[in-house]
Amino acid sequence: MVNGTRAARRRPLAAGNWKMHRTRAETVRLLKTLAARLEERRPAAADGPPVAAAGAEVVVCPPFTALGDAARALEGTGIALGAQNLHWEDEGAYTGEISAPMLVECSCRYVIVGHSERRQYFGETNETVRKRLGAAARHGLHPILCVGETWEERRAGRTKQVVRTQLTSALAGFPDGAPAGLCVAYEPVWAIGTGQAARGEDAQEVAALIRQLLAGLFGDDAAAATRILYGGSVKPDNILEFSRQPDIDGALVGGASLDPSSFAEIVERVAR
């Protein structure tokens, strides 16, 4: 049992994965509105940055082209910046790729690794996920490692097996301990962008398995300190079903993170 009272140490996290949406100008506008919406939700008595006051960490992951503008727009807001992918080498002949030092220079603190859309459409494998995680760790980027089963895998009763393989092979490159700031996002592929979210109790079952696997790899303390997110059709009206689960510490949000009011509402509910 590694959740329980130690769960109090984990700060809830709401991360927005914008995918291939928003130009530079649109990014700045969206972030200004988001910061204003979060400011409105600041508890009356709280000092300090509005997001911190609301009790949750907030991360946005715009496209690479908008990261520089996003970093400037986020100054002083308390919202952290993340990227959607990274290459495992620091530089080299890899046309179209972006490296960890490039993301660090753009003020990224987080990076999504192994999203199912990368696995489905761009040939991402457990092996390349492991290498990308290594690059994130070398450069102090906090990885949001995505795992999750397809509908066929769920129907065949293979969900746990798939998640176990994805997680353990991704983390096999870390014999000496978990990458700093590691977050794991459980995202059932069939729930992404479909409007058909998982049931809270099913997501909790997989999140508990993930925490148990983390404990086996890195020990109970590291497992208890790692944030596990749910992702897949998260909306303001279903987020509480996930955030109230003992092993779920927040959400990775796609579509709803593009609407500042919806995302601010999700942040507020994650923070409760």
Q: Which is nearer to ligand PGA, 59 or 252 (CB)?
A: 252
CB of 95 to ligand PGA, least distance (A): 25
Identify whether 187 is a catalytic site residue. yes
- Helical pair 159-170 and 126-138, crossing angle rounded to 10 deg: 40
CB of 118 to ligand PGA, least distance (A): 10
- Element containing residue 4 per DSSP (H, E): none
E strands, 116-221, in order: 142-147, 183-186
The DSSP result for 61-108, as a single string, is: E--GGGHHHHHHHHTTT--EEEES--BSSSSSS-TT--BHHHHHHTT-
Give the tokens for residue 168.
């353990």
Q: Which is nearer to ligand PGA, 143 or 231 (CB)?
A: 231
Query: Which chain residues interact with ligand PGA by CB under 6 A?
Result: 17, 187, 192-193, 231-234, 252-256
**Cβ atoms of 185 and 229 closer than 8 Å:** yes
Identify whether 139 is a catalytic site residue. no
Write down the catalytic residue from 57, 117, 149, 187. Answer: 187
Cβ neighbours of 47 (radius 10 Å): 7
Write down the catalytic residue from 115, 117, 124, 268. Answer: 115
CB of 234 to ligand PGA, least distance (A): 5
Q: Which is nearer to ligand PGA, 17 or 99 (CB)?
A: 17
Q: Which is nearer to ligand PGA, 51 or 192 (CB)?
A: 192
Q: Which residues form the catalytic set?
A: 115, 187
